Amino acid sequence: MAIVFSSGERVRISKSPIGVGGEGKVYRVANEGRTGVIAKIYNKIPDRERQEKLKAMLLLSSSTLLNACAWPIDTLRDTSSGEICGFTMNEVTESEPLHHFYSPSWRMQNQPNASWDTLLQLSSNLAAVFGVIHDLGIVVGDVNPNSLRVRKNGRVVLIDTDSFQLSHGSSLYRCRVGVPSFTAPELLSTNKPFDLIKRSRNNDLFGLSLLLFHLLFMGRHPFAGVFSGQGDTPIESHIKEFRYAYAVDHKQRGLLPPPLSISPRLVASTDIANLFENDFTQIGAVNGRTSPKEWHQAIHLQRKRLTKCHLNTNHLYDSSVGSCIWCALEQKGLAFFLTRTSTIASGNTSESLVSFKPINLLPTRSEEAAWKRISSIAAEKTLMPQVALTNVKPQFNLAENERAAILRRSVLRFLSCTSAVLLLLLGQSSIFPLIPIILCTAFAYSPSVIRKLIAKYKAELIHLEADLATAKSNWNSLANASKCRQALSKANTAWTTIESLKIQYDKEIDSRLSILRQQHKESYLRSWLIADASISGIGPGRSSTLASYGIETAAEISPGRLYGINGFGPVLTSSLLAWKDALLSQYRQPTDNQLVKNEEKSLLAKYMRIRRQAAADLQTAIETFDAGRKETQRLLVKCEAQIASYYQLAASIKADINQLRKPASFIFRDKYPYLIF
């Protein structure tokens, strides 16, 4: 069959559909002058009411509607029957499904700078688009996350508009479809097919509140929880019975929040928590739910109450909480926003990462030469200098009285020796015992002036030796100067760090390979959202239930985590596991080189900071060592001169003492050569 625009121009479409639904397929229009236009072509010719509805939608069209949603801009006709078989609309380009934004996994990978304020702003935009539609007297009807797209600028756009409920003239065109897990309880209680129900704006507001809850509380469904009654009950049963899991009286309602859930009263302001309490209980069904304008005002006030966490700039939280609620939840294993520290705290390494390579972790030649120089100096044994005494002479010349005393002493010793010889020659044995007495007395005799001088010189020598010992101690202290030792120790630490960095880097790369392999596989699985997949038995409601239990991607699927979740028995568990297995069969792990290449950027940043700090420490330590050694050398030279002078003076004093002990023949060489005693 041929398909034409209302003008009669033949429609040219893309070979493959860009979207497939239960009613039809969506294609890009390839006609000239219709850039950015897409066509929805029904699988079969719609009934008369649907065709009339599309005509009415064209008559109601306005710039406001075209900005707020993918509103029909032209009808398409089947030339063989002349009936309307589809319509065209503007394509919502550069956009993402709304449910991506309430997925922490998706946000961390695609919007790393997102915070709770980002979700609040998006929630405000979502409420605004509902306000636009309602102000025009139109009811969305089938409110569900797959019917909304988010543009790059944050604006929310409604799609699947041909399902909207609207009036034109005397005709009411109902919404024929709906998702039970996003349908208001009063509608579910009628037990009527959707095409027989007249929707109201209050019904829409229930769906709006559901979407806002999903956005603000990380994809959790407010009616998914632990049922205290008997059997497995689906979410739509909980909705019908107003079993709001986070209500103040949730225990009486028979539904407890699931494990690892986020209570609105824990995260949001009391005003917002109360609005959800109103909309999800009988109060809202009877007295009316929160309007888009009221939501906009409440969200605006909530944003004004936000404060920034000092540990993670992606953490913005209600100031009335007292401390960062997102950090507290992370400690329980619930991470909803990517960790991002301030530029000042983390340091700017972009320039370094461009120029730094693993080989740069090795020591430079100048660093190696500097270390070898100071380490060789430190290895040298510093010995006490040996003082070579030259031209040692007595310090004082002998006075006349001292010379006379030495002469008397020598004369006495000479006479005593002569007397001893004569007594021996006499041969009188009776006098032999007198000989030792005579000799001892003579040689023991020392004039008082000589004794006093020797005692004086010995006393001076004792003091001088004490001074010499002090000087030697000072020399030893200087030779092992603590400042130089400390500098050498710091230099050694810095050098050891630099020398071992490349080895440590290589070891860490090797040790992390197994971790990287597992992380890469998990990252691959986290990129597959359950809400985006076509899994048998898993629709928006059940994907919301899984998200309420922290299962939103293939990475979280396991028998253990699925066990005990209300409504997930062996059949659905098998479907989810089969989907995960199918994804794993398509997984291709990168080579080790590719993994390391991705990993080395962060590792190099880490090792670069260590390397640069160690290099700076080494340079500082070497400069301190050289300065300390220069000063020490100066003081050592001074100390060595002092030690040499002490040695020289001590030798002179000893020469003085020795001079006083010598015989007269040494003093009076030519005059009394025989006085050798």
- Domains of the chain (ranges; CATH) run 1-48+70-91 (3.30.200), 92-344 (1.10.510.10)
pLDDT one-digit tens code per residue, 45-102 = 999 999 999 999 999 999 999 999 999 999 999 999 999 999 999 999 999 999 999 8
Tell me the CA end-to-end span of the chain in Å, nearest whole number: 152
- pTM strictly above 0.85: no
Mean pLDDT of all residues in 554-560: 92
Kindly report, residue by residue over 572-613, the tens digit of the pLDDT.
999 999 999 999 999 998 887 777 776 677 788 788 889 889
Retrieve residue 538's tokens: 């898993």
CB 406 within 8 A of CB 664: yes
Q: How far apart are CA 157 and CA 243, in angstroms?
A: 30
Q: What is the pLDDT of residues 212-257, one digit of tens each?
A: 999 999 999 999 999 988 877 889 999 999 999 999 999 999 999 9
Please report the pLDDT score of residue 599 as a whole number: 67
How far, in Å, CA of 509 to CA of 188, rounded? 57
Query: Is residue 349 over pLDDT 70?
Result: no
Higher-confidence residue: 14 or 432? Answer: 14
CA atoms within 13 A on the CB side of 245: 25
Beta strands 226-227 and 255-256: pairing type? antiparallel
Question: What are 621's two structure tokens?
Answer: 């330590």
Q: How confident is the model at residue 345 (pLDDT cuts 50, 70, 90)?
A: very low
Q: How far apart are CA 554 and CA 197, in angstroms?
A: 37
Amino acid of residue 304: K
Per-residue pLDDT tens digits for 303-329? 999 999 998 999 999 998 888 999 999
Residues 289-305, mean pLDDT to the nearest whole number:
97
Task: Quote the tokens at residue 470.
Answer: 């002090």
- The helix (H) or strand (E) run that includes residue 641 is helix 592-661
Q: Following DSSP, what letter does each residue of 67-121 receive, concatenated?
A: HHB--EEEEEEETTT--EEEEEEE---SEEEHHHHT-HHHHHHH-TT--HHHHHH
Q: Which two tokens stand for residue 346?
A: 């983390």
Q: What is the pLDDT of residues 94-133, one digit of tens each?
A: 999 999 998 998 998 899 999 999 999 999 999 999 999 9
Strands 19-20, 24-28: pairing kind: antiparallel
CA distance 342 to 313: 7
- As a three-state string, the secondary structure of 117-159 is HHHHHHHHHHHHHHHHHHHCCCECCCCCHHHEEEECCCCEEEC
Q: Compute how many other C-beta atoms are within 10 angstroms of the C-beta atom of residue 584.
A: 12
User: Given a cut of 70, is residue 2 above it in pLDDT?
Assistant: yes
